[in-house]
Amino acid sequence: MTDAKSRIEETIKDNDVVLYMKGTKSMPQCGFSSRVAGVLNYMGVDFADVNVLADEEIRQGIKDFSDWPTIPQLYVKGEFVGGCDIITEMTLSGELDTLFDENGVSFDKEAADKIREANA
Query: Which residues contribute to the annotated binding site for [2Fe-2S] cluster?
Result: 30
In angstroms, the first-to-last Cα distance of the chain is 43
User: CA-CA distance, 88 to 75, in Å (whole number)?
Assistant: 14
**Which residues face 75 on adjacent strands?**
18, 80
- Angle of helix 109-118 relative to helix 95-102, nearest 10 degrees? 170
Q: C-alpha 53: how far from its chain's center?
A: 15
Nearest CA to 71 among 100, 111, 101, 30?
A: 30
Q: Please enumerate, by residue number, every residue annotated as part of a binding site.
A: 30
